[in-house]
Structure 1
Amino acid sequence: MKIAIFDEHEDSIAAIETLLKSEGSFDVVGRFYNTNACVQKVLTCDADVVLIDIASSGRMGIAAIKELRSKLPYLKIVVQTALEDGECVFKCIKAGAVGYVLKKNAKQWLISTIKDLQHDGAPMAPIIAKKLFNFIYRKCDERRSVKINRDYQLTLREKTILNYLVRGLSYKMIGHELGISYETIRSHMKKVYRKLEVSSLTEVVAKAIKQEIV
């Protein structure tokens, strides 16, 4: 996989590149110190995956994610940052990021995160998933004055998987709990996406909580 790195700190890029080089299937094709003209930079190096740190660029970083996602929909965008705030995670995923890794946990999670992207995963460490879901819970509590009742015709198995997702479990963890394969989980979730009329894991969880589907 061809990877481009956006980070304002040269030492951070060097550390990330060293880590990625330990995995033979990764090739760092771009090293950039700001997000100006990010789409053109990615096109120039023909990257499959972009690692972007939004800690110092803030809104500009999120704007860069939106621009990349809108103009290069095939691109896999992973946020790698020191920010652990649930709202920040939510905004990044809403903008189009498909993964979120804390810099302090990069050695533990970065390589597996990028590998998960090859299987259409939306990887994030459990601590980040928990912060994200807690933020969604809080936002939904603010809006729960009006309860929406709608039958999405989910099967018992689909509701069970959805319930596990709301609790913060990954596909692999759910497969272990239910004794079924990762691919079977993905197959069920494709049906859930279609029935709930959503296109991302974040939307699935948010809708399940907001409309009290599980």
Structure 2
Amino acid sequence: MTGKIGVLLVDDQELIRVGFRMVLEAEEDIEVVGEASGGRAAIEETARCSPDVVLMDIRMPGLDGIAATQSIVQRHPQTRVLVLTTFDLDEYAFGAIRAGASGFLLKDAHRQEMLAALRAVHRGDAVLSPRVTRTLLQHVSPRLGTPAADEGGRLAALTERERDVFLAMARGMSNIEIGESLYVSESTVKTHVGRVLAKLDVRDRIHAVILAHRLGVAGDPLV
């Protein structure tokens, strides 16, 4: 890689890929390293070009984005997947989150929203709005099941401050908001977040939120 964020574009519509490529390649810190028109091609291209982030369409003929996401996450844990959907209540998008995607983005999102989401997912700092996070949890919670013993045991590895950060993340708070509530700097929060994710063995914030609700320690509901 060149120090830029390498992005793989996956969409069965060529015009959509062209539009995204034009937007992304106008940014100095982003490079489109490949394209794919379907799920199987996305898996092959990920193996070939090792992207940092896959911008993944969900509804595609053949192998859909959910199955492709699951395969990519399992085979290439260093690669993040940001799924594309047409509306924020799309069951397919929630399925992709459960498969290991790091977040989802509406196809009609503004240019700056897309760029911010991509950069956030790349740095492992993806934050969905409380409304979207709440909706996500409403969809996945009934299917979470009883937490495994080792999941509960992971909490014991957290320090008191790390647990505070974990619970704040579960409530949908951003790094800035967490810093303000705990009276620490944003950089300190980022350090704590990294340690929390590592100790809990979760890929990113969104999966930490799901784990918190799975364990029943999320506290106040998101508003």
Same fold (TM over 0.5): yes
Give the Å deviation of 1:51: 0.6
| SS of corresponding position for 2:108 | helix
* Residue 166 in structure 1 maps to residue 165 in structure 2: no
Residues 125 and 5 of structure 1: is their aligned pair in 2 closer, same or farther, counting only changes over 3 Å? farther
* Residue 43 in structure 1 maps to residue 44 in structure 2: no
| SS of corresponding position for 1:70 | helix
1:53 counterpart (51, 57, 71): 57
* Residue 24 in structure 1 maps to residue 55 in structure 2: no
1:13 counterpart (2, 14, 17): 17
* Residue 199 in structure 1 maps to residue 202 in structure 2: yes
| SS of corresponding position for 1:78 | strand
Q: State the match for 1:119 in structure 2.
A: 123
Give the Å deviation of 1:113: 1.8
Q: Residues 68-92 of structure 1: CA distance to partner in whole angstroms, max 9, x if unpaired?
A: 1122222121112214227544422
Residues 101 and 173 of structure 1: is their aligned pair in 2 closer, same or farther, counting only changes over 3 Å? farther
Residues 45 and 199 of structure 1: is their aligned pair in 2 closer, same or farther, counting only changes over 3 Å? closer
Q: 1:1-214 counterparts in 2 under 5 A? A: 1-57=5-61, 60-85=64-89, 87-136=91-140, 152=156, 157-193=161-197, 197-200=200-203, 201-213=205-217, 214=219
Q: Residues 144-180 of structure 1: CA distance to partner in whole angstroms, max 9, x if unpaired?
A: xxxxx98837555444433332222222332244342
1:109/1:125 contact within 8 Å kept? no
Whole-angstrom CA distance in 1 between matches of 2:134 and 2:87:
14
Residues 136 and 172 of structure 1: is their aligned pair in 2 closer, same or farther, counting only changes over 3 Å? farther
Structure 1 letter corresponding to 2:111: K
Residues 170 and 2 of structure 1: is their aligned pair in 2 closer, same or farther, counting only changes over 3 Å? same
Structure 2 letter corresponding to 1:13: R
Give the Å deviation of 1:62: 0.6
Structure 2 letter corresponding to 1:178: L
Whole-angstrom CA distance in 1 between matches of 2:62 and 2:135:
19
Structure 1 unpaired stretches of 5+ = 144-148
1:78/1:100 contact within 8 Å kept? yes
Whole-angstrom CA distance in 2 between matches of 1:86 and 1:132:
10
Residues 15 and 126 of structure 1: is their aligned pair in 2 closer, same or farther, counting only changes over 3 Å? farther
Whole-angstrom CA distance in 2 between matches of 1:203 and 1:106:
25
1:98/1:123 contact within 8 Å kept? no
Aligned pair count reads: 209
| SS of corresponding position for 1:37 | helix
1:13/1:31 contact within 8 Å kept? yes
Whole-angstrom CA distance in 1 between matches of 2:105 and 2:21:
15
Q: Residues 27-85 of structure 1: CA distance to partner in whole angstroms, max 9, x if unpaired?
A: 21222222223222223344322111103459721100111112222212111221422
Root-mean-square deviation over aligned CA pairs: 3.2
Structure 2 letter corresponding to 1:199: V
Whole-angstrom CA distance in 2 between matches of 1:30 and 1:125:
29
Whole-angstrom CA distance in 1 between matches of 2:28 and 2:178:
30
| SS of corresponding position for 2:202 | coil
% same residue: 26
